[in-house]
Structure 1
Amino acid sequence: MDSKKMVLPVFLLATLSVALVGIDEVDSLDSVEETWYCYGNIMILKYPYDETDLTIDWDVTGYNGGVSADVQHYNGATVPIDVSGYDHVIVKQTVTNGTGTESDSKTIDVIPLGLRSGESITVRFMDGTRELSRCILDSSRSVLLGSSFVDLPEDPSKTNYRFMGWYSDQSCTQRFNPLIPILGDITVYAGWESAGSSSSVEVSGFIVTFNAAEGLLCDVTAKGDRAVSFTVSVKDGYRFDTDSITASVGITRITPVGGVYTLTGINGDTTIEVTGDRLFNVTYDLDNIVLTSEDLGDDHLKASFSPSFGWSGVSIKVIMGGADVTSSSVNGSVVSIAEITGDVIILAQSDLPWIYIVIAVLVVIAIIAAILVVRTRSGRQ
């Protein structure tokens, strides 16, 4: 095969090498200090402090499929950058003082969502089939990962019902978390818990009413002469400090025995108050990753992850209370948080092994080479 016939295979191999390097750089979360979602094509970069006597430089590299483009340079405390046409943008911010000594430097990962002017994403808050409010995310919006993508409306009210929170499904089984990126139109539903007669039972001609805190459930196990026994459990999707759960009538606490609460001596209509301390929620957002083990206590978390079948590598980011705590809580494929102080979001992803990509490209090269050989032979005939 002459030199002209070798051009295409060599070009493909060179492209593969660039792509693999680019994929490694984009997918590495180690050096990224902030991750932003840019809903439009223009990202406004701002230096948030007094820029007097400082020089602020921005180096912007766009990526498509892990392949990097030329670096763009911007100067100034506030600059708009065009992120259109990329699926990832890595921004290197460098700040120097008047003597040229570097005083600050950080790397920002910008994920463009590509909304054009006039386009938007709608988040609708519903009570059944009735819309309570809506939030519009348009092309001017950029959100720092760990911050709320939408502001929740005020808690609604309904006669004889207790508001339980916002859910992402109409059956109200999956809690809606405003800290998770919103990438398309969604509907959020109000969840309700009956606060009427369904939480009451009749005991010896008297009405016993259970007022349980949101997330707690009372189940009557037995009724006797002026006595009632019940258990308290935590509903799915909620976390409580189990030692803090109490049941009381007025100022009198009911002490459980073997997990069963028993109230005796009922001589009139009675209300039992059941309360406890809510704990922070832990949410997983996994991409080609499997949660292999979890130790989730009242105030700590230890979880390990492994790639799904056919995938390799583990990249993890941890947001707690809106702050990125990845550096202090991630060791390889294990997340360890000694004290949970806010809602936790764990984003973990895995990548297709490079060997599969290499094999696929080599197959393509072999096919192209075979076609060129056939064409050469046909030309000679």
Structure 2
Amino acid sequence: MSVRPWRDIARRQCRQIMVGNVPVGGDAPVTVQTMTNTPTSDVKATIDQIRRCEEAGADIIRVSCPDVESTAALKQIVRAARVPIVADIHFHYQRALEAADAGAACLRINPGNIGSADRVREVVNAAKANGCAIRIGVNAGSLERDLLEKYGEPCPEALVESALDHIRILEDHDFREYKVAVKASDVFLAVAAYQQLAEAVDCPLHLGITEAGGLIGGTVKSAIGLGSLLWFGIGDTIRVSLSAEPEEEVRVGFEILKALGIRNRGVRIVSCPSCARQGFDVIRTVETLEARLQHIRTPLSLSVLGCVVNGPGEARETDIGLTGGGAGKHMVYLSGVTDHHVNDADMIDHIVRLVEAKAAEIEAANAAADGVAARSQR
């Protein structure tokens, strides 16, 4: 289906950097990040959590390095991870040096907060020597005292000025492999700060609504804030900050990108809120299907509608459709066309098999197309 003009998103143009083997910015896909919450010194627990995040689709994963035990464990963690690892550093420049030597793909550090010019130079030289990128992470909750005195309170101008100050330090050391975040828990503050920063710099921007809250509240805040910015083309990599397991952050991040048509991964489910007309328990069915289809990475669409009011119309727009009928028999649509009926008892297993088969079909077609393209270039 062709993209309608009112769905077009004109992405902000910026230069590209590399975080390990993952490009960020430029014409690269918007990446999804998360952060572990296990003690980094507990190598097994941290790697296990990283593996769950990878399975959920994380492109980049950040780990906190508050002490020497954490950076000592980092080398083993980096070797085990399948995606680039960002080392989260606050204040202690020595931890940054250790993380760079341990193989971190990126250092999350504010150069203005790590001490003398000599220390900054050491960190920049370590990043250059080890091929590390740097993420400048400005946060409304930890703005510099002089900026708070100047502006009276956290505001977009204060966040942007802080970011520009940190950028200047890196560029004075001839370092340009950086991305920047200006996060706030207040949605309006964060969005305004990112809008201003987007006009002032040409580097990639890392989006986030920090301390967004729990799974439901934080998802809503993040969807509003990140969705607003992404809709206007701002943002090259995102992290949804939730008081929830990090793999949930990844799933929510992809759902935000999916809703905007920016990036698709897995099954997009169109479902109704249900009412007395429903021919089956829509809510429980969708919950079960979401859980059982998490392993599907191929982008495809599934509609699950309880009755024939909107069911046929929605089914015409999805790869697979299910519409509730009477007497425990429901209509299944394939590629928008009515195909067959399914009974209550077999419904969920049947839909899962159809989705898995469709995903395999799409993957095979893509592989064949890639093969043709490769042969034509020889």
**With structure 2 as the length reference, what TM-score do the two structures score?**
0.24
- Quick check: which one's strand share is greater? 1
**With structure 1 as the length reference, what TM-score do the two structures score?**
0.23
Work out which of the two has the higher radius of gyration on C-alpha atoms and give 1 or 2: 1
- Quick check: which one's helix share is greater? 2
